Structure formats: C-alpha cells, structure tokens
Amino acid sequence: MWLSSSSVGRKFVMAITGAALVLFVTFHCLMNAVAICWPAAYNSICEFLGANWYALIASAGLAALIIIHIIYAVVLTLQNRKARGNDRYSISKRPKNVEWSSQNMLVLGIVILAFLAVHMIQFWAKMQLQEIRGVEEALPPAAGTLFIQEAFQLVWTPIVYIIGFIALWFHMNHGFWSMFQSCGWTNTAWIERLKKIGCWWVSIVVCCFIAQAIVFTVKAHQHYYINNEDLRAQYVEMVGEMCMKDFGPDAAQIVNQISSMPYSVVSEQIPQAVQQMNAQLENPGFAGQMESNPEMKKQFETQLKLFKSYKVLFDYLSAQPVVEEVVEIEANPNPAN
Ligand code: HEM
C-alpha cells in the first residue's frame, strides 16, 4: 500500500497524525485553562468525558494516532540513516540550514513519550482506566482537580512536566511546518510564513502549559483543591453518583440523605459508622442473625460498601493538611479581641 510502502506515503501519514496530535494538544491546553478558571466546571467535563462510549472511542483513536506516529517515526529515521550511511556521523557535513530540532526529532519524541508515561500514570490510570476497571472504594475518577492536587503537590512533577513541555516545543515547532512540506507544499514564501505561524501557535500553547503547571503547583501547595468547600461538596456528590451506578436504586435514599447533610457532619459520622458496622460483623450473635435473614444481610452489606466508598474520600481529605486561614480562625474565634 502506498501509505506504508513509499517514503512519501510514510511522510504523509506522519504529517496527518502529527496535525491531529497538534489539535489534540491545543484542545487539551484549553481544557486545562478551564481547570484554572472554573475548577468545578472542569470536574463536570471530566465526568462527562469519563468512560462513556464516545470518550472511549476518542481515547482509542488518540492512542492509535500516537502509536502510528511513533511507528512511522522510527521507520523513517532508520530509513534515513540507512540512506545516509556513515555520513550521519560526520557533524561537519550536516546541512547548515537544517535546524537542531529537525536533527533530533526522534530523541525529542522519546523525551515526550517518557513525559507521557508519567502523565498517564498520574492522571489517566486514576481516572478513565479506574472507571473502566470499576474498582470500588477508590477516589471518584471524575474528580480531575483532586488528581491535579495529588500530582502537583509532588516536588518533582513541575520539573518533569516543564522538561516535557520544552521537548514538546522543539518537536511541534519543527513538525508544524514540515507536515505541510510533507503534504507537497513546496512554495518557499509560504513555508517561511508557515514556520512563523507554527512558531507562534506552538509557543502560545507551550507557554500556557508552563503557566498552568506553575498555577497548579502553587494551588496544590496551598491545598486549594482539597480545602475548597465547593470542590469538597462536588467530590461527595461524585461518590454518591458512583454508588448509585454500582448499587442501583437501593443506594438512592442513603445517597440523598448524605448529600443533604453538612460536610463536617458526614465526614465524621461515616467513618465512625464503618467502624461500628465492622465491629457488629465480628459479633457472633449479629453474624448468626444475618445468616438467617438474607434480605437483612444484603441490605447491611450494601450499606457497608456504600459507606466504605465515602470513607475513602473522607479519609483522604482529612489526611491532608488544613489551610492556614482555617487554623487562624479556629485559634482566634473572636477576631475583634
Ligand atoms: C499542565 C499540564 C497538563 C495537565 C494538568 C494535564 C491533565 C490531564 C488530565 C486531568 C487528564 C485525564 C483526563 C481523563 O482521563 O478524563 C489528561 C489526559 C491526557 N493528557 Fe494531559 N495534562 C497536561 C499536559 C499534557 C500534555 C502536554 C500532553 C501531550 C503531550 C498531554 C497528553 C494527555 C493525553 C494523551 C491524555 C489521555 C487522553 C485520553 O484518555 O483521551 N497532557 N491530562
């Protein structure tokens, strides 16, 4: 087939997959901007894009694009090296007008891939993959800001991300105009213009990513995504929705009750209830009673699982440091004195 057997065909595939990836990266950058301006809206988008069939198809398409782009990149690089033979070792013979990034596209791609591996472990594995696996008693997979908190409170995260963004700048900057060239655009004046457009586009996107990483790091160190009351209420709501999905209408009444109670009350009472229910299970009299009444056993087990799902979130949030403002208010309940 022309797309895989000829060098021009292979370059064309690189260009098309590269263009789609540039659009994805730009869209992703806009999504991150929502996380900064409206964190609760960002979580709602994450919920919408969770593990639904349309999101899964989009993710599979994206993975296919990345894989095809990588395979063709390796094939083209090996093919070029073979064609140039020993010349590739002779630095003095490198054409002067060939940029540094064009010579190092494969290496830059490998750095981006390493960044992506870390990124997928920090986000995708805990969000979409977690939802697919359907593991109970986990943090709500749609709570994007909670995973931003987890990732960016680590000292090394912004460092790894900024290295990834710099590699992305060089890689996309070269890739942007060269994909037009690969598609047969040979007009020299236009190639120069496309180089400028590409440089602006990529620089704006990468600068936004760097600025976002800095804002996320500062906010994560202030524990904003954990202590913000609206976000906390949203996380509790998300656990409720997870439970309704897992346990069906049986859970609705309890979930509604929990949602209507203040955070400070449920976050204390539910972990206590789990402890009491576990203790009850160890009581031989109660265990015997449950064995003789399957309906009661079913209800008890559902309630315990449901409470345990909430407990994971409450335990996680209460294990995090409280914001300084709250500590000050508690230490001095009457600021007038
Ligand atoms: C500050 C920087 C970034 C943040 C905070 C961020 C955040 C996220 C989050 C929260 C998700 C999970 C979405 C979900 O599964 O529902 C995600 C997925 C992803 N991110 Fe990023 N991201 C950043 C930069 C990047 C960059 C620069 C790239 C590409 C080079 C990238 C590539 C991806 C990919 C491929 C996915 C998987 C998308 C899917 O499953 O469909 N991210 N990111």
pLDDT of residue 12: 84
Residue nearest to atom 8 of ligand 1 (CA): 123
Q: Is the CB of 25 under 6 A from ligand 1?
A: yes
Q: Is the CB of 123 under 6 A from ligand 1?
A: yes
Residue 94 to residues 51, 84, 103, Cα–Cα distance (Å): 48, 11, 9
pLDDT of residue 45: 93
Q: Is the CB of 124 under 6 A from ligand 1?
A: yes
Alpha-carbon gap, residue 27 to 16, rounded angstroms? 17
242-291: pLDDT as tens digits: 888 888 777 888 898 898 888 889 999 999 999 999 998 888 888 888 88
Residues across the chain: 337
Mean pLDDT on 301-319? 90
Cα of 24 vs centre of ligand 1, distance in Å, is: 10
Burial of 10 (0-12, 13-18, 19+ CB in 10 A): buried
Which parts of the chain fold into alpha helices (H)? 2-5, 7-37, 39-48, 53-84, 100-103, 105-122, 128-133, 144-152, 156-182, 188-221, 224-227, 229-247, 252-260, 263-282, 284-292, 294-318, 324-331
The highest-confidence range among 5-14, 155-164, 278-287, by mean pLDDT, is 155-164
Q: Is the CB of 32 under 6 A from ligand 1?
A: yes
Q: Where are the domains of the chain?
A: 2-86+98-221, 227-331
Q: Is the CB of 190 under 6 A from ligand 1?
A: no
pLDDT of residue 74: 85
**Ligand 1 probe mutation, 45, 67, 119, 165, most atoms within 8 A of CB:** 119
Task: Give the residue with greater pLDDT, 76 vs 228.
Answer: 228
pLDDT of residue 2: 60
Longest distance between any two alpha carbons in the chain, whole Å: 87
What top-level class would CATH report for the domain 2-86+98-221?
A: mainly alpha
Task: Give the residue with greater pLDDT, 156 vs 88.
Answer: 156
User: pTM of whole model > 0.75?
Assistant: yes
318-329: pLDDT as tens digits: 877 655 544 444
